[in-house]
Amino acid sequence: MATKRRINWDVLRILAVLCVLLQHATRVGPANHPELSRPVFVFGLEFGASTLVVISTFFACAALAKGEPARFLRNRLARLLPAYLVAALGTYTVLRHVAPAGWSELTPRDLLVNVLMLQSWFPDARLVDVSYWTLPIQVTGFVAGALLASRVRGRALKALLWSLVVVPVAIKDWAIPEGLINTVYNGLGAHRAQLFAIGVAIWLWSRGRLGDRHLFALLTASLLAQAWHTVDLESTVGFGVLLVGVCAAAGGRDWDIAPVRLLARPIRWLAGISYGVYLVHQELGYLVMAQVAPDGGPWVELAFFIGSAVLLGWLLTTFVERPAHRLLTASRPTVAGLLLTARLHAAQSHLGSVGAVPFSRAPLWRPVSHPSTSAAAPLTAGDASLSAVSPQLR
C-alpha cells in the first residue's frame, strides 16, 4: 500500500542542487566567461553533486533490497538515459549554432563521446556540460550494484566498502602518469568511489546492519579520502555537514514541521524536477546570463540563471523524462522496451535474488522514477505495486 511521502529527502535534494547552481553561477561562470558581471558573492564550495550521488546510492540500495536487480537497472536507465540524451543533444546544438562565436569549441566527436558516456575514458574529449561528470559514474555504480547485490553480503560487503575508500587513495600516485592504470582509474571514477561507500554504509546503518561506530569510522575515512582526492578541505567540510543531514533523514523522523509543511508543495515540485534542472542548468544558464548582462547586473544574472534552470528542467522532466520512463517501463512496452527488458532479465537469471530485509528506519523498495546526480529521494516504508511509479524513489 502507498505510504506518506517523506519531505526530508526532498529538502536535502533541493539543498544539494541549490549548492550546485550557486557554485556554478557565482564561481565557475564568471571565471570561464569574463563577459559576465562580477558576482556580488562567491559560493565556492563544491559538494552538492557529491551529495546527490550519495543520496542516489542510498536509494539504489533500497531498490536492490527488493531482490530484482534487472527491474531496478531497467527503471534506473529508463529514467536516466533519455533525459540525458536530449539534454546533451540540446546543449550541444545551442552551443554550436546559437552561442556567440568562440563560446564553445565542441566537435561532433565530443558529442559522440558524451552521448555514449565515455567522457572519463577519453580525457581529450571536451565535455558538453561539465556537470555531466556524475552520469557515467552513477551508471557504472548502478550496473556494479545490480551485478553484486546477490553475491556480496555480510563481512564481504563491509570489506568492499572499505576497499572503495582505501584502494583508490593507495593507488592514486600510480594512476597519475598517462597509461592503462590512469585510463582505468579515471574511466571507472575511482576517485569518487568513496561516495558509493558512503551511500551504502548509511543505508546499512539505517537498517540496523552497521553499527554507529562503524558508520562514524567509515564516514570519517571517506571524508579524508574526499579531501585527498579533491584537495579542497572547505568543500569537504561542507560535504560532511550535508552528510549529517542525510544520516538524520535516513535514521530519524520526517522533517514534517510547520515551516517545512507550509512549503511542502513547492518543495516537492522542485524536488521532482531536480534531475532535469541539473542536466540543463550550467552551459545554457551561462548563455542566459550573457544575454541579460548588458542591461542587468549580478543579481539579475543570478535570478535568470536559476529561473532558466527551473524552467528548462521542468520542460525536460515533463516532456522527456517522465514520458520516456512510462514508455520504457510500461506493462506493454515498445519493441525497444521489450528488447531492453529481455536482456536485463536474462542477466538477472545469473544474479539470483537479494531477498527481503527486516523492517527498519529505511524505505522499502519502490519502482525507480529518477536517478538522482542528481539523485532523488524516496518514500519511506511499505510496498507498492510493481507497476506504480514513485516520484520520490529515484
pLDDT score for 308: 97
Distance of CA 89 to the CA centre of its chain: 20
Query: Which range is least confidently modeled, 68-77, 153-162, 168-177, 376-385?
Result: 376-385
pLDDT confidence band for 330 (50 / 70 / 90): confident
Domain assignment present for 389: no
Model confidence pLDDT, tens digit, residues 275-309: 999 999 999 999 999 999 888 889 999 999 999 99
Residue 170's pLDDT is 93
Is 39 within 8 Å of 298 (Cβ atoms)? yes
Quickly state the pLDDT bin for 332 (edges 50, 70, 90): low
Decide if pLDDT at 337 tops 70.
Answer: no
- CA torsion, points 218, 219, 223, 229, in degrees to nearest 10? 50
Asked whether residue 1 is assigned to any structural domain, the reply reads: no
Name which residue leads in pLDDT, 300 or 178: 300
What is the reported pLDDT for 24? 96
The answer to whether residue 297 sits within a structural domain is yes
Do the beta carbons of residue 181 and residue 171 sit within 8 Å?
Answer: yes
- Which pLDDT score is estimated for 294? 86
Q: Are 54 and 198 in contact (CB under 8 A)?
A: yes
In a domain, 2, yes or no: no
pLDDT tens, 214-228?
999 999 999 999 999
Q: Identify the H or E element spanning 154.
A: helix 154-170
**Which amino acid does the sequence have at 177?**
P
Which residue shows C-alpha cell 587513495?
A: 169
Q: Residue range 262-274: average pLDDT? A: 93
Q: What is the mean pLDDT of the chain?
A: 83
Model pLDDT, residue 270: 96
Ramachandran quadrant class, 56 (left: phi over 0; alpha: psi -120 to 50; beta: rest): alpha
Total count of domains within the chain:
1
Q: Note the pLDDT of residue 197.
A: 96
Digit-coded pLDDT (tens) for 43-73: 999 999 999 999 999 999 999 988 889 999 9
Q: Lowest-pLDDT range, 138-147, 198-207, 232-241? A: 138-147
| Cβ burial, residue 305 (10 Å; 0-12/13-18/19+) | buried
Is 375 a domain residue?
no
Classified as helix, coil or strand, 279 is: helix
Query: What residue has cell string 516520484?
Result: 391
- Whether 363 contacts 62, CB under 8 Å: yes
**pLDDT value of position 370:** 36
Distances (CA, A) of 342 to 103, 265, 333, 347, 368: 44, 38, 11, 9, 18
372, part of any domain? no
The verdict on residue 318 lying in a domain is yes
φ and ψ at residue 375, rounded to 5 degrees: 90, 115
Which of 32-36, 116-120, 367-371 has the lowest average pLDDT? 367-371
State how far the Cα of 165 lies from the Cα of 339, in Å rounded to an integer: 36
Would you tell me the crossing angle of helices 134-148 and 69-97 to the nearest 10 degrees?
Answer: 170
Closest CA to 361 of 250, 204, 237, 240: 250
Give mean pLDDT, residues 82-88. 97
Read off the pLDDT of each residue in 83-98 and give the average, rounded to a whole number. 95
User: What cell does 363 get?
Assistant: 524505505
In the chain, pLDDT over 90 holds for what percent of residues? 62
What per-residue string of b and e applies to 257-278 under the rule 16 or more CB within 10 Å gives b? eeeeeeeeeebbebbbbbbbbb
Q: What is the percent of the chain with per-residue pLDDT over 70, rounded to a whole number?
A: 83
> What type of residue sits at position 55?
I
Domain membership flag for residue 30? yes
Residue 17's domain comprises 8-348
Would you state the pLDDT for residue 375?
A: 38
